[in-house]
Structure 1
């Protein structure tokens, strides 16, 4: 069955004008993703992706290959040249003209097979990465170490958060075992050193901050597989403590709607771990755009696989139905745009049932005379002082600091920050840093149309951040 019908060029041009941006409230409903493209070979699958008319294309790594010619030493100049070749691939140029893209890297566009923090040209490679993806010259991401970044698309209730991890820049050395004749390779062994890392300290801190931001669907992009752990190649399982840390972080932040997208493996795989984080955690692997085996081959061992495509070029496609009880459909498609496997899941399913996922941290206990949100909600029409830990933030003109991760929850208490008060810690560009902070605010309690309690900040003197 073919889920997509090729559109006319006119339709693709129209798509450019309506394409979603991170600062655009337009709702995302169609997202394509994939990895692994050799710039020296034809890439017919780009035509199928364009015909699917995605709102957004996610490039999961190996967005070109800088190191295929073993006779050529990889230098920053070589990396730049390979990106330039990729930019000229006809299908890619057409996609770029009609669809916004986000990307991260894997080893081959990083510059060296299976390389990590030791790669001598990693900073130069990062510059070339940003030039290729046209990161603005004044973007803080150009000064940052590593290419990790995140965006949130869409309005409250229909937000898609895309978190692009960098599994290369900070990664500790791999440990290799002896050659295995049966596997026809020397498998990578688990690195259990106390200081072994995949993401590095700063990226871990950043990831925790991102996971605390409000979103309905979170696409967590890792260039290498997270769940599949029985093959002998690179994967999160080669750093078992890091994978445990990731699962623990997803649970402790109460992040709902998480779905992992990965690449690298030159095949397509759909894995699911039903117990790792308190709700089904999917890892959807799409690889590669033109690097997959063209001949039949048996699936490799993966006891958590629920679907896959062990041979043939492929891309992934996500369709989101935002109507009542939103549903996410995920498909793996071949170079003709035909669906080979997939699944559907309700967003309501991607929520934990354990304490960590349902009970948000509450912060320090309010002192005498200061109310909790539940207490303040009973004081409609009265001026009170209320204290709580900010769980989420929303709004466009007026901003809202919410006591609940779900701003629509009946018992959510919202502190309203009008435009005139948006300065200092409450400035629009900095206010997201308050997620996880405990605030104390004085003002008059009101009840909104939904029956939830609100309190508007009259001036900066009525607001304070509680030091724990």
Structure 2
């Protein structure tokens, strides 16, 4: 993506960088970001350091190798040299803020177009092999690192002990990517036609070797899986680079998550010079969040209307930003907090989600939470038709108009779904203004008589005191 035009900064000396080493202790604070021009001030790096991350993920455009320092204009791909790319890495390596971040935590990284070497470049970029070597040298890849011989910079690691494992998968959406196609005509007010979906069966984003590798990674045991993608996976309405430019490849990703029963997946993306959190609840078998953080110094500096995105659940449409994933392992149902923070480190947007939500119906995401005496699970309550019970579960979906239905399953039609129906009579007191958002992804405890309606078990709440929000 084309960068913003900012003042030129000073070149400084280079230092070495060590690769990430998976710690034995569970990760609780992961920071990430993209789109940082090494020739411009990067004060946000100090805010990232202050956030005390245990790991930082570079999601691409880690340098801008294709911008003329004097004119701030794009340099054609044919004029990019390996020496130029190396010089830009040297500048980043020597920045004081980068040095502080390097001393704070280990890194993992992938690349995007500008650090590959050319705007919107992909598999047809002539210097991609030379650029890969420079990338690996900069990020301290050992001589026997698989990336030294494979085609592409994709990599993965698992952090933490069993039961609290975080798998980080960094995809390479550049090395193998088929050349982008454009629509036949520009949009109103534009000079260049937008990118258009490529339906060619042979078109690819990852390439076959990386697809096979990704399948193997998704079969590895882990409780949380953070998948770094330099371009957005879920957002599909804007006219720039995105997975939906290759619709068959995007569907292949979703299908692979379903096929492998990979739980706990959260996508982290960059590229767009904005921050937003997108949610697709229908394709992966459970809610799939895509947290976009861009850029470290390339975010829009003034208000702009958010781009069209029907999947957006939180937004930061302007301002430099970085992302944080906070994981609270202290309960039987761990909680993830997905954040977008501004240049000062303040939280601008956030979503909280329980780990039990990030799984298909019927797939266990961890040990069963210990319930108080006399409190039943949905399955136990469903077996007590006609009896008064107290049931507790995380709300996986909501619906209804007159009655608000709080469901234990993502699909309310699932055979094992247990519903708590908050009736109009109970919408008083603490529930006077309750909506689905009040309960979604939170744990409720409800008391009442179990009924079976249309083949599904439920409790009807007719008084506010029958329903409690546990967390």
Q: Is this a same-fold pair by TM over 0.5?
A: yes
Give the one of 248, 268, 271 matched to 1:264.
271
Deviations 1:264-302, CA, capped at 9 Å, x for gaps: 000001000011111100000000000011111110100
SS of the counterpart of 2:351? strand
With normalisation by structure 2, the TM-score equals 0.70
In 2: Cα distance, 1:176 partner to 1:112 partner: 18
Residue 140 (structure 1) shift: 2.2
- What is aligned with 1:327? 335
Secondary structure in 1 matching 2:324 = strand
Question: Is 1:221 aligned with 2:228?
Answer: yes
Matched residue, 1:122: 128
CA–CA distance in structure 1, aligned partners of residues 354 and 364 of structure 2: 18
Change (3 A) 1:337 1:197: same
Residues 21, 153 of structure 1: 8 Å contact kept: no
Corresponding residue pairs, total:
339
Alignment correspondent of 1:46: 45
Whether 1:196 aligns to 2:203 is yes
Residue 91 (structure 1) aligned with residue 101 (structure 2): no
Match of 1:140 in 2: 146
2:166 paired residue number: 160
Q: Which residue of 2 aligns with 1:237?
A: 244
Aligned to 2:255: 248
Residues in 2 aligned to 1:83 and 1:31: alpha-carbon distance in whole angstroms: 23
1:56 and 2:60 correspond: no
Q: Residues 20 and 55 of structure 1 are in contact (CA less than 8 Å); yes or no, is this contact kept in structure 2?
A: no
Contact kept? 1:254, 1:358, Cα under 8 Å? no
Change (3 A) 1:119 1:60: same
Q: Deviation at 1:318? A: 1.1
Change (3 A) 1:358 1:290: same
Please state whether the residue corresponding to 1:311 is helix, strand or coil. coil
Q: 1:34 aligned to 2:42? A: no
1:376-391 equivalent positions in 2, closer than 5 A:
none
What is the CA–CA distance in structure 2 between the aligned matches of 1:358 and 1:51, rounded to whole Å? 36
Q: Equivalences for 1:300-319 in 2 at 5 Å? A: 300-319=307-326
Q: Which runs of 5+ in 2 are unaligned?
A: 1-17, 69-73, 366-471
| CA-CA distance at 1:186 after TM superposition | 2.1
- Matches of 2:204 and 2:340 in 1, distance apart? 31
Structure 1: how far apart are the matches of 2:191 and 2:327? Answer: 41
- 4+ long deviations beyond 3 Å: 19-23, 182-185
Cα distance, 1:222–1:123 mapped onto 2, change above 3 Å:
same
- When the two chains are superposed, the root-mean-square deviation of aligned CA atoms in Å is 1.7
Please list the CA deviations of residues 336-363 of structure 1 after superposition, one character each: whole Å capped at 9, or x if unmatched: 0111111100001101016xx579xxxx
Q: Paired residue for 2:352, among 344, 354, 370?
A: 344
CA contact (8 A) 2:178 2:203 kept: yes
Deviates more, 1:228-237 or 1:131-140: 131-140
What is aligned with 1:67? 66
- Whether the 8 Å CA contact 2:38–2:88 is kept in 1: the answer is yes
Normalising by the residue count of structure 1, what TM-score does the alignment of the two structures yield? 0.71
- Output one character per residue of 1:171-223: Cα deviation in whole Å (capped at 9) or x when no partner: 01110122223456421000000101000000000000000000000001100
